[in-house]
Structures are given as C-alpha cells and as structure tokens.
C-alpha cells in the first residue's frame, strides 16, 4: 500500500477541521493532476484528462473523521467535549485523545475513568455519555489549560496506534473511515494511464461527511459529474455475527445495493458486477444502515448516476478500525477497470437500465 494511506490516517481532521488533510491532498494533487479545484467548504479535487470530450467521472473519499470538539474547560482544568460524528460513548472511556492546538501541535490527554476502588458503592456509576466525560490533559487549573493553548472549539482526535497484524495482511488504525477513500483518490491518479481514459476524471475528497454528507452537496455542484463513485469504509459485522450481506473482512470490495439513503441504481449495479466478473475481482453484496456521499450526489441537479465502492472495515466509528490488504487491492482494481469503460455510450447504457 502506498505511503499516502499511513500519512493520511496519522493526521488529525474531525468534521469542519480538515485543514491538515486538505494541505496533504493539495500538495499531492498538484503533482498528480492537471488542475486542482476546491469549493468554498473545502472539498478538494484533481482533474486528469481535462480536455476530454467524454463524460465527467467524479470519485471521492471524505477527509473528516469522527472525534470530538472542546466545549468547555472546567475550573479544575479538565476538558468537556461534544462528539463529532456517530460514536458509541463507552468506547471513549479511558482512551488517549489529543486536542489539536491552533499551531497544529497536539495536547495529549486521557478520558478519565473511575477505578473499581471508587465504584464499590452502588450509588456511584461509571459515566459513559459524552456529557459526563472529562479529558484530563494534566492541567492544574483552567488558567493552566488556557496557558497550554487550549481553546473552546478546537478539535479532539483519538491517539493513533497504527499497527500491522502479525500475518502482515491487516492494518489497525484510526480514521480508515475515510482517509482510505482520500488516499485512494491519490492512488488512482497515480496509477491511471491517461491514454486509457475515455472520460475526464475528477478525484479527491469531501469535507464534513460524518455530520450529514455536507461537503458532497457543494462539491458535486461545482463538478457537475455525469457519474459519481464514492469510496468509503463500511462496517463489517463479521466479528460478532456473519451474514451474507453484513460485510466480511477479506472478501473483496462491497456492492452497496441498499442503504437508507440510496438504493443502488440498477444499471450501475449491473455495470459494477460485470466489470468485477470480467476481471475476476472479488466482491460481496452489502446492506448498510448508514449513508455515504453517494446518497447526496445522486440528488444534485436533475440526478446523477452514483455508486459506493465499499471498503470493508471492522470497528469504524470507534477509536480505531481494521482493514485487509486484499480488499484494498479489490477496491483499487475495480475502479481502475470501471474508468477504462466509462465513455458516453457506457453511461447511456447504465442510465437506460434505471
Ligand atoms: Zn465514511
């Protein structure tokens, strides 16, 4: 896997705080594409084959990750916070988290948990809602915390423990959702042969997906794609229960035939299946209970043909998550092969199968 993946998961960027991710994306998009475009909310894209007479194909990940923001500094110097994106509160207890200061440096801390010694009395409970969590940065008072650089509104990210498993095939890290898709945009731009592209290809990453697909609304207005591919991590349920459509690590990319905000376009489904079969790329069907940027883009202008190419990932929307390198290969390969076929004839054929 290219370095972009690790470089991007290590950076901090909860929704609305994507600056450091965008800087990385811009630096690399400037090298890999003919032109870089950015909308006013901060979503950023590179274009290749800009003068093509073919259709405009847009591909996006999203730059933001789940985390928190500083809402208050208590008199004793602890930090109260609000979650950003959907996080199951118990996973936050006792975790190392970093407040990102205005100069970009990290102020590390730990979310305080009561030891069992203090929980013997039945009336004392371990707190497990965000309202009750206190991030302890070791400040002795509110003034001390302020002098260390803490301010209301700063982002707070989970400390990362990037780990490759013993078999070398899986990687555990925070923010796979969706630095994976952001890095994939760079990876595709690096790998695509312009001569093979029958379309104009616009690849990059949106802001603010985790708080309601906001970035995709404005970026798709700017780009006006004929077809859109979202690349996003989808949660696997295979650790706890295995169903045919619940997502299994290592079984290939996911065809998201249903989620509550987007029923997969039938022509698109046939197209993705045919490309995967033709090139023997492993895939699995996936039913999601969440949405991706594809749901937003499909509703722009008079409608856009979209799909989500899902990357299986365990434990997302917690402090960390796990992906499989074989699935990475499948996601990359299917998109590269799809792009080679996407001329106007193919898009019209897809559209006619609605
Ligand atoms: Zn995501």
3-state DSSP assignment of residue 253: strand
Q: Check residue 122 and give its pLDDT.
A: 64
CB under 8 Å to 306, separation ≥6 — which residues? 227, 228, 229, 230, 262, 265, 268, 294, 295, 297, 298
Inter-residue contact 307 to 264 (CB < 8 Å):
yes
For residue 55, how far is its CA from the centre of ligand 1 (angstroms)?
A: 26
Residues of the chain with pLDDT under 70: 121-124
Signed CA dihedral, 308, 309, 314, 319: sign only: negative
Q: Distance between CA atoms of 289 and 295, rounded to whole angstroms?
A: 12
Q: Could you tell me whether strands 253-259 and 200-206 are parallel, antiparallel, or unpaired per DSSP bridges?
A: unpaired
Q: What CATH number labels 67-158?
A: 2.40.30.40
66 Cα–ligand 1 center, Å? 9
Domain ranges across the chain: 3-65+174-352, 67-158
Over the range 24-56, which residues count as b (16 or more CB within 10 Å of their CB) and which as e?
Answer: bbeebbeebbeebbbbebbbbbbbbbeebebbb
pTM for the full predicted model? 0.96
Residue of 209, 242, 273, 337 with catalytic role: 209
Q: What is residue 114's predicted lDDT score, i.e. its pLDDT?
A: 78
Rounded to the nearest angstrom, the distance between the alpha carbon of 62 and the centre of ligand 1 is: 7
Cα(12) to ligand 1 centroid in Å equals: 15
* Cα 105 to averaged position of ligand 1 atoms, centre (Å): 25
Condensed to tens digits (0 to 9), the pLDDT of residues 317-344 reads 999 999 999 999 999 999 999 999 999 9
pLDDT in tens, 268-299: 999 999 999 999 999 999 999 889 999 999 99
Q: Tell me whether residue 72 is one of the annotated catalytic residues.
A: no
186 and 29 Cβ atoms separated by less than 8 Å: yes
For residue 184, the CA-to-ligand 1 centroid distance in Å is 13
Classify the C-alpha dihedral 352-193-327-207 as positive or negative: negative
Pick the CATH number of 3-65+174-352 from 3.10.20.600, 3.40.50.2300, 3.20.20.80, 3.40.630.10: 3.40.630.10
Q: Which residues contact 48 (CB under 8 A, 6 or more apart)?
A: 32, 33, 34, 189, 192, 194, 197, 200, 201, 203
């Amino acid at each position: 896997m290219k370095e972009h993946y690790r470089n991007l998961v290590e950076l901090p960027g909860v929704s609305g705080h994507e600056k450091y991710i965008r800087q990385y994306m811009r630096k690399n998009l400037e090298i890999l594409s003919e032109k870089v475009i950015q909308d006013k909310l901060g979503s950023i894209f590179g274009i290749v084959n800009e003068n093509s007479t073919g259709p405009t194909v847009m591909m996006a990940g999203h730059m933001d990750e789940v985390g928190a923001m500083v809402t208050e500094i208590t008199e004793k110097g602890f930090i109260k916070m609000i979650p950003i994106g959907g996080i199951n509160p118990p996973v936050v207890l006792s975790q190392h988290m970093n407040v990102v200061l205005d100069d970009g440096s990290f102020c590390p801390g730990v979310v305080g948990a009561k030891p069992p010694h203090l929980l013997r009395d039945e009336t004392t409970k371990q707190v497990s809602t965000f309202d009750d969590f206190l991030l302890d940065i070791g400040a002795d008072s509110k003034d001390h915390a302020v002098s260390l650089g803490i301010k209301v509104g700063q982002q707070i990210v989970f400390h990362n423990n990037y780990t490759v498993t013993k078999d070398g095939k899986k990687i555990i890290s925070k923010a796979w959702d969706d630095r994976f898709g952001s890095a994939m945009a760079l990876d595709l731009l690096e790998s695509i042969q312009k001569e093979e592209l029958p379309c104009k290809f616009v690849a990059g990453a949106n802001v603010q997906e985790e708080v309601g697909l906001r970035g995709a609304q404005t970026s798709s207005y700017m780009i006006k794609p004929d077809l859109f591919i979202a690349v996003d991590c989808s949660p696997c349920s295979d650790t706890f229960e295995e169903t045919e459509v619940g997502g299994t690590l290592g079984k290939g990319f996911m065809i998201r035939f249903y989620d509550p905000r987007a029923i997969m376009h039938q022509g698109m489904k046939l197209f993705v299946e045919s490309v995967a079969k033709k090139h023997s790329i492993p895939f699995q069907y996936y039913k999601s209970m969440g949405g991706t940027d594809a749901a937003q883009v499909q509703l722009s202008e008079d409608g856009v043909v979209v799909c989500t190419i899902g990357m299986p990932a365990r434990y997302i929307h917690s402090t960390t998550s796990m992906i499989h390198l074989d699935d990475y290969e499948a996601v990359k390969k299917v998109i590269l092969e799809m792009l080679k076929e996407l001329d106007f004839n193919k898009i019209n054929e897809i559209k006619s199968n609605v």
